[in-house]
Amino acid sequence: MGHGGFSIVRKAVDKEKGSLVAIKVIDLVAAREREADEEGPVVDPVSEIEDEIGMMKLLNHPNIVQYYDSFCTPLKYYIVLEMLPGGELLELLNEQGTFSSALSSNYMRQVLQAIQYMHNVGIVHRDLKLENLLLDETKSIVKVSDFGLSINMNVETPSKCVGSIFYVAPEVLIDESYGSGVDIWSVGVMAFMLISGSPPFDAPDEEENNMEIFEKICKVEYSFEAPEWENTEEQTKQFIQLALTKEPSERPTASALLQHPWILSHAQNS
């Protein structure tokens, strides 16, 4: 079904219920080799995996992938999750090129509902991106997945520079302490991508120029000049601008964005 650096997701059947599930199989040998190659103190991958599982156990929401069970052997760790056969939202976007404002709003409303719930219980995802949004078989329901970089603000203060290049908030790059606002920033990036098909902060070179992208993020340097934006309603742009507010303390919460006209107007028609 999918794969990462040292994991693969397989389809399976729950023998008791007869229902399909997804099993994330993590190669512990490869994970330990990666840890050994990185600078700094070596962290046991099993500990990191169990932290992620602990985070998922705290969450029960219709827009968050449901955790069912887990078990391990000396070589592999298995996490049993809800099956989402519609695939990644990024894959659907790549197929279609862009989405309508209404469809984009519907997806972002569901993501914001998940974020609102997570933040209310103290969880910050820290790696929200289109690859981590999974769709049901109808492709109308979206669910947040992959809590490997998530943090429980009730027991820990975030300080590490983590996240994915196109989605990371400026305060993370500037090496400041940060909070739940990093997830809201990612919402702004994702909304921009759904409408235009491209990230707001990008390098013109075919090869990714990370430093150039980071500089644009820190300056909040993006525009609505591409042709895809010509007929886009102003409230869509305003929503994105609010989510991409540079100062974290001035960035709206998920609850506030759920009351934004772009979200409310399309929610009535969904």
Q: Number of folded domains in the chain?
A: 2
Which of 45, 65, 82 is the C-terminal boundary of a domain? 82
Quote the pLDDT of residue 26: 92
Average pLDDT, the chain: 90
Quote the pLDDT of residue 42: 57
pLDDT higher than 60, residue 4: no
- Of the chain, the percentage scoring pLDDT greater than 70 comes to 91
C-alpha span between 171 and 129 (Å, rounded) = 17
Which of 59, 82, 105 is the C-terminal boundary of a domain? 82
Residues with catalytic function: 127
Quote the pLDDT of residue 145: 95
Q: Region 107-122: what's the mean pLDDT?
A: 98
pLDDT higher than 70, residue 36: no
- State whether 65 and 101 are in the same domain: no
pLDDT band at residue 246 using 50, 70 and 90 as cut-offs: very high
Domain that holds residue 13: 2-82
Quote the pLDDT of residue 6: 75
- Tell me the CA distances in angstroms from 92 to 6, 78, 86, 242, one per residue in order: 24, 27, 9, 26
